[in-house]
Amino acid sequence: MQKDIFRKPAYQNIVSSCLRETIEFLLENNKEFAVACSTEFIEFDPALPKDIYDHFGETLLFVLAGYTLSSVQIEKDELSFEAGFGDENFGSLVTLPLLAIKQIFVDDYPVAINVSRPTKILNTSSSSPEPFLSNPENKKLLKKRKPR
């Protein structure tokens, strides 16, 4: 399979539109569904406790049912919903690019499959300045800043 073709913006737009329309259709019909997502692109707000986050693999499966289903929002090219994690049901707003969705399932059936990937990583579970400082332009901004 030629992977480069699936990274082209034209293809990503097609897939993103398909994922959006599939989710909107399921929401309009009040149908529970699940999404398998690439963990590296998911943002949690508030950030999940380390003991919960450390148990995740490279793919997470979210079952969107009940309250979680009613909290689903699609804005721009992102999906968000509220979910509870761990034994304490730690609440967090989950946000991810639509292209981070690998599959959408209804019952046991995959109804949408995505072989593309988002271009930017959203996961901000770390408060490290490393991603900010990895951009040379940002380093220049800090050098120009006057000490207080």
Residue pLDDT, tens place only, 42-52: 999 999 999 99
Asked whether the predicted pLDDT for residue 128 surpasses 70, the reply is no
Domain 3-144 has CATH 2.60.120.10: no
User: Distance between CA atoms of 138 and 148, rounded to whole angstroms?
Assistant: 19
pLDDT class of 14 with cuts at 50, 70, 90? very high
What are the sequence ranges of the domains in the chain?
Answer: 3-144
| Model pTM score | 0.77
pLDDT class of 141 with cuts at 50, 70, 90? very low
99 burial class (0-12, 13-18, 19+ CB within 10 angstroms)? Answer: buried
Token couple for 102: 């690998």
